[in-house]
Structure 1
Amino acid sequence: MAFDYKKEYKEFYLPGRRPQIVEIPEMNFIAVRGKGDPNEEGGEYKASIGLLYGIAFTIKMSKKGRHEIQGYFDYVVPPLEGFWWQDGTEGIDYGRKEAFQWISVIRLPDFVQKADFDWAIAEAEKKKKQDFSKVEFLTVKEGVCVQCMHIGAFDDEPETIKLMEQFAREKGYVSDFSNERMHHEIYLSDARRVPVEKWRTVIRHPVRKA
């Protein structure tokens, strides 16, 4: 049975619809940075997703090739995630999608080292005849956050965020956005197959004690 991060780490990937405080450990990611409206056809955001999955599956399928990754075990590729921000704005202004800056990411298993990542970039470029130079190895330690499962359209996220902020205040926390700590989303639904009213998105915001 392939290791599934969503099932093994439910506290990070499958929170309830009520907000909770959680401490997120350091994790490594495949990452692509960009800016602009994620809904733009042919835009940077949609291109970034193809790059991420190209490397994610090169690493996953390394077991069938000659490159041996020390400590490798079979696993389900973790879900797509994103860190989002806008210059001059704390949190997110959903009315200004053109001002979005983002880092699209997919979590890497802990056994993947930087050398394995570099091999995957070279291997993907060779096999797919595509430029993967925008893809980077990113380490993030989020620390203490408030998070909640949001059900429905992305444009309806402010309602869930209000609940998260209220809960955090009641527990003695305040928002702690910075250049290193951003609005974070984890996408659990395939938007091509699931109706928008049933989309599941984990929303996570950085907080600190007041």
Structure 2
Amino acid sequence: MTAKTDFKKTLDSYSARAGHFRVLDVPELRYLMIDGHGDPNTPAFAEAVRALYPVAYKLKFAAKRELGRDHVVMPLEGLWWSGDMDAFTTARDKSRWDWTLMIMVPDWTGQDMFAAAVAQAGAKNAPARLEDVRLAPLSEGRCVQTLHVGPFDEEGPVLERMHREFIPSQGLRLGGRHHEIYLSDLRRTAPARLRTILRQPVVEDGGRA
């Protein structure tokens, strides 16, 4: 039987504790990605999610069949940014948010395998935004992260402490896009029990992003 790898358990970058900010170096990883803009509580956001998962599962099945490698499909993730980062902390103005939704895939996933998975996912009842999905690497490097437990709308104070207190105290400054990793099944988990890794790439204060 093919051993199944759970990268949430083998990669240190998927480890975080509530109430604890941690500085870590995140390796370059490969993701399925799709872009969007605006409030995540909209049909456009849901369409983006629906485009990612069929490709992720087709890749899983192809790797098991063709390479003898199996893995747990990784959780949904998102990069979030805005012209004014206060839109995430104090104002929480979701209409101003830009985002890239992602699912991490193993490094054995090549462009040919990806193209075949997209074709298979579109063979029947193709998701509306399937053609917008891409496979690309992301290299974040030095980051600060923590675990938030609770509703997404209660992230603001945690991010405020991360951005305004912890990161400057380490001689660092913001150096990339806010990153969230949704460890909970959003369809089955009560808001108070949602577990989300909050990650912020950083650079040395006085350096260049």
Letter in 1 for 2:134: E
**Aligned match of 2:156:** 158
TM-score (norm 1): 0.87
Q: CA deviation at 1:150?
A: 0.6
Between 144-153 and 93-102, the greater mean CA deviation after superposition: 93-102
Cα contact 2:92–2:156 (8 A) shared by 1: no
Q: CA deviation at 1:133?
A: 0.7
How many angstroms apart in 2 are the aligned matches of 1:171 and 1:64?
Answer: 43
Give 2:131's match in structure 1, choosing from 133, 147, 153.
Answer: 133
**Aligned match of 1:2:** 4
Q: Any residues of structure 2 matched to 1:167-178 within 5 Å, and which?
A: 167-176=166-175
Q: CA deviation at 1:124?
A: 1.3
Q: Structure 1: state its 5+ residue gaps.
A: none
Change (3 A) 1:105 1:129: closer
Partner deviation per Cα, 1:145-167 (whole Å, 9 max, x = no partner)? 11110111111111211332322
1:50 lines up with 2:57 in the alignment: no
SS of the equivalent of 1:15 reads coil
Q: CA deviation at 1:35?
A: 1.0
Change (3 A) 1:159 1:185: same
Q: CA deviation at 1:125?
A: 1.2
Q: CA deviation at 1:128?
A: 3.8
Q: Structure 2: state its 5+ residue gaps.
A: none
How many angstroms apart in 2 are the aligned matches of 1:63 and 1:209?
Answer: 39
**Aligned match of 1:90:** 85
How many angstroms apart in 2 are the aligned matches of 1:91 and 1:203?
Answer: 16
1:202 lines up with 2:197 in the alignment: yes
Give 2:35's match in structure 1, choosing from 19, 33, 41.
Answer: 33
**Aligned match of 2:70:** 74
Q: CA deviation at 1:122?
A: 1.2
Change (3 A) 1:152 1:118: same
How many angstroms apart in 2 are the aligned matches of 1:184 and 1:3?
Answer: 23
SS of the equivalent of 1:169 reads helix
Report how many aligned residue pairs link the two structures. 198
Change (3 A) 1:129 1:146: closer
Letter in 2 for 1:160: V
Between 162-171 and 196-205, the greater mean CA deviation after superposition: 162-171
TM-score (norm 2): 0.88
Question: C-alpha root-mean-square deviation of aligned residues, in Å?
Answer: 1.7
